[in-house]
Amino acid sequence: MSDTIRVTVEKINEQGKVVSKVVVIEKEISKPEEIIDIGFRHSEQVDILKSIQDEYISQQSIYFKEDLDACPRCGGKLCKHGYTKSDFHAVFTDHKIPTCRQVCNDCQWRSIPSIKSLFGTNIHPDLGKMQSEFGARYSYRDAQSILNKMSYYVRKVNHHNGIKQITQLVGKHIDEHPDEIPHDVKPSDELIVQVDGGHVKTIEDQRSIEAMTSVVYDAKNIEYKGGRVKDNGDVTEIRGIITSKSCAASALSDNQKSIRSQTLSAAKLQGLTKQTKLTAICDGAANCWSVIDSLSDECQSIERILDWFHLSMKFKNSGLGNKKLNEKLDGAKWYLWHGQVEDAISRLEELKQEVTKDTKKVNKLEKLLSYVVNNKNYIVNYDERKNKDLVFTSQMAESNVESLINQRCKGQQHMKWSRDGLHNILTLRAAMNTYTWPKVWEKHVLFGLKKAA
């Protein structure tokens, strides 16, 4: 006989006396032969949790009744009439919970409540939060699978249809009930705003939906900026975390109304005032700049910078398939890295002359040239900014903007979106990526759960 470990749940009364005791699990203490023998297994952990929850909830069940002084039909006296069981879904475990039945002595009217009828939902908000966050991050079917893996058992409550419903409702509620800017936000002297756009396929027709995202942060909130940059501006490594940021996103076709107002809110969450100096980092798209322009009355000044990431990507995608030509192309990029736009333009013109017979190369160079010419007012001395530790590329937050649209919405080739469905997902993803989420999620999730019930 070896020793045993025993987990019990005790109920202690006001006088400190143990009044009930339930054994949850007993297990022989054995020598672990393998790593897998250490501690409780996943299924055991979930079972233990379920038993403990069951004990605690059954002690709470005296409170699970309709709050009535008298019969709502005849005014007669109500009497307790046993218990009835209804479903409750906690984060990892499902429960059948007793609720108190009441009956009227005079007219036989009955109250048979359930957790859902008493609380508006039978899903704990902590589970609703995980469902909607995973639903916004992964496909609904993947979210279902992950949640079931975590809770060990396959649970009906994690069915992908339910996850879809709650995810969409939470996103919609955030969109329709934006959070107020807290009063204690500290004014910021300088903020960085990045606006980006992307296209996602629709179910409605063959066209794609344009979605836009913004990220706003204070340069003070970047931990270790810069990363490794080669002489020609090739960013080989960006290491840095933005410790506090605010995001906005929209897929609506509303002449930028929503993305503009949400970008403004995101900036205010970061401490935007009329004295704030803004640095805007965008790719060359006109619709991105117009979101930036809409902030001009709300701040002291805006410095507009063409995103080095997009600029260098254009060069990467314009490779001419010839070492000598590519070296010249790199030269043009070197000029841009140092803010010498005119030199870069003449270099590209020269190159064009060299390849006149090759229409493919000419086309590539013309596209690149028009991109540079159209954005030349926003091309700065990136090298200098880098040396001064000033932001010059969206790469630090790009993973964010990108992932907001791409990771969830573009990744699955077969996945096609309705405009509203996409908008709700993006709204939720933006909220999750904003620093206030831990404080504001509860009311949005609770609303979604009650609406879905």
Dmax over CA atoms of the chain, in Å, equals 101
Handedness of CA 148, 151, 153, 154 (dihedral sign): negative
CB of residue 70 to Zn ion, shortest distance in Å: 8
Q: Could you count the other beta carbons within 10 Å of the beta carbon of residue 373? A: 11
Residues 248-277 within binding reach of Zn ion (CB under 5 A): none
Closer residue to Zn ion (CB): 110 or 149: 110
Contacts (CB under 5 A) with Zn ion, residues 267-326: none
Pairing of β 241-242 and β 301-306: unpaired
Nearer to Zn ion, 70 or 154 (CB): 70
**77 vs 96, beta carbon nearer Zn ion:** 77
- Give me the least distance between CB of 136 and Zn ion, in Å please: 48
Of 6-14, 102-110, 276-284, 314-322, which segment contacts Zn ion by CB under 5 A? 102-110
Which range in 33-41, 97-105, 112-120, 407-415 contacts Zn ion by CB under 5 A? Answer: 97-105
From the list 248, 316, 318, the residue with the least C-alpha distance to 288 is 248
We find the least distance from the C-beta atom of residue 263 to Zn ion, in angstroms, to be: 58
Q: How many residues bind Zn ion (CB under 5 A)?
A: 8
Nearer to Zn ion, 108 or 387 (CB): 108
Closest to Zn ion by CB, 107 vs 154, is 107
Smallest separation, CB 106 to Zn ion (Å): 5
Closer Cβ to Zn ion, 111 or 318, answer by number: 111
Lookup: tokens for 125: 């908000």
Q: Is residue 110 within 8 Å of residue 102, measured between CB atoms?
A: yes
CB of 109 to Zn ion, least distance (A): 4
Q: Which long-range contacts (CB under 8 A, 24 or more apart) does 231-237 make?
A: 231/334, 232/330, 232/333, 232/334, 232/337, 233/308, 233/312, 233/333, 233/334, 233/336, 233/337, 233/382, 233/383, 234/312, 235/308, 235/309, 235/312, 235/393, 235/395
Does 110 sit near Zn ion (CB under 5 A)?
A: no
**Is position 104 an interface residue for Zn ion (rule: CB under 5 A)?**
yes
DSSP 100-144: EEEEETTT--EE---HHHHHS-SB-HHHHHHHHHHHHHS-HHHHH
**CA separation, residue 80 to residues 102, 106, 127, 141, 199 (Å):** 5, 14, 32, 44, 60
**Residue 107 binding Zn ion, by CB under 5 A:** yes
Q: Which of 40, 109, 152, 334 touches Zn ion (CB under 5 A)?
A: 109
Which of 65, 159 has the CB closer to Zn ion?
A: 65
| Residues 51-80 within binding reach of Zn ion (CB under 5 A) | 71, 73-74, 76
- Residue with Cβ nearer Zn ion (109 or 435): 109
> Residue type at 208?
S
Of the candidates 322, 193, 371, the residue with the CA atom closest to the CA atom of residue 267? 193
Q: How far is the CB of 102 from Zn ion (least distance, A)?
A: 10
With CB under 5 A as the contact rule, which of the stretches 2-10, 58-66, 109-117, 231-239 interacts with Zn ion? 109-117
331: left (phi over 0), alpha (psi -120 to 50) or beta: alpha
Q: How far is the CB of 76 from Zn ion (least distance, A)?
A: 4
Kindly state the smallest distance separating residue 117's Cβ from Zn ion, in Å: 19
Give CA–CA dist 85/91, Å, rounded: 19
439 sits near Zn ion (criterion: CB under 5 A): no
- Asked if 241 touches Zn ion (CB under 5 A), the answer is no
Pick 41 or 77: Cβ nearer Zn ion: 77
Structure tokens at 285: 């798209």
Instruction: Using the Cα atoms of residue 232, residue 406, residue 195 and residue 436 in order, give the sign of their dihedral.
Output: negative
Smallest distance, Zn ion to C-beta of residue 67, A: 16
Residues at the interface with Zn ion (CB under 5 A): 71, 73-74, 76, 104, 106-107, 109
